[in-house]
Amino acid sequence: MRLKNRVYITEAGAVSAAGTGVEEFYRKLSALKSGIAALKRTCTAKLRTKIGGECRPEALIESLGIESLDCPPLAEKIFLYDNPKLLFALHCIKQIFDSGAFKKINAQNVKLFTGAGLEEIKISALMEPPERSARVCQEPPAAFLAEILSRFFRFGVPPATLVSACSASTMAVGEAYRNVKSGALDFAVAGGTDSMLSEFAVNAFNSIGALSEENSEPEKSIRPFDKSRSGTVLGEGAAYFLIESERGLEISGNAPVAEIAGYASSMDAYSPVQPDPGGLGAALAMTRALKDAAAAPEEIDYINAHGTATAHNDVAETAAIKKVFRHAAGGVKVGSTKPYFGHLVSAAGAIELLSVLYAFKNGCPPTLNFAEPGEGCDLDYSPEAGVKKRVSAALKNSFGLNGQNASIILKKTNGKIN
């Protein structure tokens, strides 16, 4: 019997500074509204960067209806306010369940693939005397996140966790695609979650020169590919997708909103904190993804770039796109949606894949704050509002620290998410 191994996205859930739920997320992108603002949950007195793409845990906990999880023997209770990564992931996946997409799917046949970040360290706890100190790390280890989520939603196939910095959630979706395409699975939930808006994380990113320190106008702080760009800004949140095979669609009755057509990864092996200046590793990931999709560069209408607004990434990514797309580069729209919600690190690729689904429905979202191209940045970065270029096929790039690269190709289908 022929394997029905084309791979589709049928539903999604999202939490970010640009909105909770797909519908609100789409509205914020359509309104060209940035969610970057002054940080409220993090003490910024000693930080050079005092802004970020913050979510509201209180509202999410109220909506979720639970404040903690029992998780023996790991912990007597895991309090969700102190574990925002877990909170964001729970909320996202519950959105997918609440949509009715699982009505005919047996959760025992579902495998979770999740991108995850490193555990957060509470610097203040290190400074307390032993008799008063709180736990230095209140989060469960990253390796436990997928198990906790799978147990909560009763997914019956052992989960997979990807810890590969800023490319983690794109790799999670890509590995889910490979498993479904191979016929090993008919159903997967894939995406990522992260929160690095702590004193420790912000200071760490400041120390490598990655963050903008322009705190006076937060919504204008991230300027990808622009001459005046000054660095990225961290965000937090999550996005997860229900991924199904053709055979899965027959079982679930769900409508596909996009086909995952190709995926690939690569390794720069250049520097822990900088991409290869010529974009060699990034170009290799894109080239391999196109080959996997059996697609020519001319077929891609839109590239959702990693686009961090850092000095090194934007030039290297532009060079990589020009290597791969050559003559097609002048006709493809390139954009970064990080100015809407910040850099979600391990969840960046997933929330930006949702931006691609937005583009299928509404046209390319403009790159906010882009005014004048920087040196070496000479592509069409979709600066104008109301870009209505028809998008039928798109490529999403994610490039992580240590040169971990991932590219994934989506094609539009006739289904709808909201």
Out of 55, 92, 166, 377, the active site residue is 166
Three-state DSSP class for 384?
coil
76 versus 405: the higher-pLDDT residue is 405
pLDDT at 269: 84
The answer to whether 49 and 211 are in contact (CB under 8 A) is yes
3-state SS, residue 47: coil
Locate 301 and state its tokens.
Answer: 């209408």
Catalytic site residue from 55, 91, 92, 306: 306
Question: Sign of dihedral through CA atoms 384, 323, 341, 150?
Answer: positive
Contact criterion met (CB below 8 Å) for 63 and 416? no
CA pair distance 234, 84, nearest whole angstrom: 15
Helix H or strand E encompassing 125: helix 123-127
Q: Of 64, 97, 100, nearest to 80 (Cα)?
A: 64
Examine the pLDDT at 71 and tell me if it is beyond 60.
Answer: yes
- Name which of 209, 200, 174 is nearest 121 in CA terms: 200
CA distance 335 to 286: 16
Q: How many CA atoms lie within 13 A of 191 on its CB side?
A: 32
Instruction: Give 18's Cβ-side CA count (13 Å radius).
Output: 32
Query: Half-sphere exposure of 205 toward its Cβ, with a 13 Å CA cutoff?
Result: 29
Dihedral (CA of 416, 302, 8, 268) sign:
negative
CB atoms closer than 10 angstroms to residue 31? 11
Question: Which of 320, 416, 343 minimizes the C-alpha distance to 169?
Answer: 343
CA atoms within 13 A of residue 208's CA, in its CB half-sphere: 15
Residue type at 174?
A: G
Computed over every residue of the chain, the mean pLDDT equals: 92
For the chain, how big is the Rg over CA atoms in Å? 20
Residue-wise pLDDT tens digits, 331-387: 899 999 999 999 999 999 999 999 999 999 999 999 999 999 999 999 999 877 656
Active site (annotated) includes residue 306 = yes
Q: What is the pLDDT of residues 129-156, one digit of tens each?
A: 555 445 555 677 778 899 999 999 999 9
Catalytic residue among 55, 91, 92, 343: 343
Which domains can be identified in the chain, with CATH numbers? 7-258 (3.40.47.10), 263-412 (3.40.47.10)
Q: Categorize the per-residue pLDDT at 85 as very low, low, confident or very high, splitting at 50, 70 and 90.
A: very high
